[in-house]
Structure 1
Amino acid sequence: MNLTAPLRVIIVEDMIAIRHDIEDFIKQQTGFIVIGTCGTVHDAIVLIHHTQPDLLLLDIGLPDGTGFDILEQLPAQMKVIFLTAHHEYAIRAIRYGAIDYLLKPLNKQELTEALQRVVVSKPLLQEQIAITLHSFRKNIEQGYIALRNRYYVQIVELNKIKYLKGDNGYTTFFLNDGKKVVTTKSLKDYEEFLPADSFLRTHQSYMVNELYIDRYLPKECILYLEDGAKIPVAVRKKEMLDSYFKKL
């Protein structure tokens, strides 16, 4: 007998047809119950305060503002899945905060997978929200990143990351205090939004923070970090690294 209460869901989407489609789909899923829908920032904030949902499906572009305006006013910790068209700065901000999102037009399989992830995920930390809002509002590179796996979210300063190692869809972050954080995203995911002028993709499985580079041996195709760590350099990345070091 499953005694786990279903997640109480609010859908915030200004396109009525999309809103109805999402509602109908979620009603067919076990473990979820739709307790309200709306299409504006104002109505969403009122509805959230009155009902205290567990999960928000949150459109970014709304008639009277954005989903980030709602995120800023959440009265308590809850789970969030953003719904967005291709919006570079919004997606970058969402990724920095390690918040789940789906691209429109919505795909039922991807929505199913997102709902499965959210069942085992934790509610958003205030730090995740702060990182996301700062990145979106200022439209600048963020100084912090939220690293998420199935068990926890770790907030890390970018300048404390020495290097990243990818392995079968997982990425391990090696930090300057000797700690490691394993995430459930691929190295390519992080390459797409970490600042390219600071994090160098040296190999299929490695990215390096330039702050920690000590030596580059082009003939051996190896980067040495300050702590002695050896980072391989792929042949196809040598030209990029040669150009990088010539500019120093």
Structure 2
Amino acid sequence: MNKSAIIIDDELTSVEALRGLLNRYCPDINVVDFAHGVVSGLQAIEKNNPDLVFLDVEMKDGVGFDILQQLPVEPRFQVIFVTAFDHYAIKAFRFCALDYLLKPVDPDLLVQAVDKAVKVSNEAMANKIKILQKNKNGNEKIVLPSKDEFFVAEVNEIIRCEANGNYTIFYLKNHQPQLVSKTLKEFDELLSGSKFLRIHKSHLINLEFVERYLPKDSQVIMKDGARVEVSRRRKDVFLKYLFNN
């Protein structure tokens, strides 16, 4: 089934490059219009009511987020962000499980992103964008994708994460554990910082939920009662945190 798309990007060369890739690798995507900024992008969306929007992050008259915030109603289209290098934006997208493409766009990743986008419901996309907007001043919520749904979790309610093959089990305050269809490595890269620490190849913990440390057993007792092993390789980093806080 053909899907209509618009490209919003202030670089004409990027627009032409992306349109060429779509014509070649995604023949079911019909580019019906393009725009070069926030104002013209809003006009193009209103005029065409597209199924899919490729949205540049940084433009001369604003950022792509501005378009989403200025829409009069919840978006009824899928969004794939396009960015050159903005690390903060990439992290924001990953927190919300939103797709993004790095310039220059890789054809294989483009096909994957389009395939995923056309399968996501408008409601799910609208919810992801809401989380993105709420996280504007800090990543307070995270979207956890499972096989059949997306679970929205407060970051400060994550007690710990445990590797389970290519999946990750999230243990949350006041919620049942969530089996998430991403690896622990991905969440380590996303969450590690002031509050989260990888203490074992299979365990990422929220340091604010540490209750006790048992040196003899090299284990941490979490506030939910779980005993989590601290590996020898990561013990020094963990102990440094304990003594400095």
Give TM-score, length-normalised by structure 1.
0.87
Report what 1:20 is aligned to.
Answer: 16
Deviations, residues 41-92 of structure 1 (Å, cap 9, x unaligned): 1111011112221211111011211111112134323211111112122122
User: Closer, same or farther in 2 for the Cα pair 1:242/1:11, shift >3 Å?
Assistant: same
**Alignment root-mean-square deviation, CA:** 2.1
The AA in structure 2 aligned to 1:21 is: A
Partners in 2 of 1:82 and 1:39 — Cα distance?
14
Q: Pairwise mapping of residues 83-232 of structure 1 onto structure 2 (< 5 A)?
A: 83-123=82-122, 124-136=124-136, 138=137, 141-194=138-191, 196-232=193-229
Deviation for aligned residue 1:178:
4.3
Deviation for aligned residue 1:166:
2.6
User: Closer, same or farther in 2 for the Cα pair 1:149/1:21, shift >3 Å?
Assistant: farther
Partners in 2 of 1:182 and 1:197 — Cα distance?
24
Partners in 1 of 2:13 and 2:140 — Cα distance?
39
* Larger proportion of helix: 2
Deviations, residues 72-131 of structure 1 (Å, cap 9, x unaligned): 134323211111112122122222222111112211111122122223223344443233
Partners in 2 of 1:100 and 1:93 — Cα distance?
11
1:8 aligns with 2:8: no
Partners in 1 of 2:232 and 2:238 — Cα distance?
10
Return the match for 1:39 from 36, 40, 45. Answer: 36
Partners in 2 of 1:178 and 1:133 — Cα distance?
24
Deviations, residues 185-224 of structure 1 (Å, cap 9, x unaligned): 3322222232511111111221111232222223322222
The AA in structure 2 aligned to 1:51 is: N
User: Closer, same or farther in 2 for the Cα pair 1:214/1:95, shift >3 Å?
Assistant: same
Unaligned stretches of 5+ residues in structure 1 = none
Report what 1:238 is aligned to.
Answer: 235
Partners in 2 of 1:220 and 1:90 — Cα distance?
41
User: Greater shift after overlay, 191-200 or 36-45?
Assistant: 191-200
Identity across matched positions, percent: 31
Partners in 1 of 2:149 and 2:33 — Cα distance?
28
* Contact 1:218/1:238 (8 A) holds in 2: no
Give TM-score, length-normalised by structure 2.
0.88
Partners in 2 of 1:55 and 1:231 — Cα distance?
44
Partners in 2 of 1:235 and 1:208 — Cα distance?
16
Unaligned stretches of 5+ residues in structure 2 = none
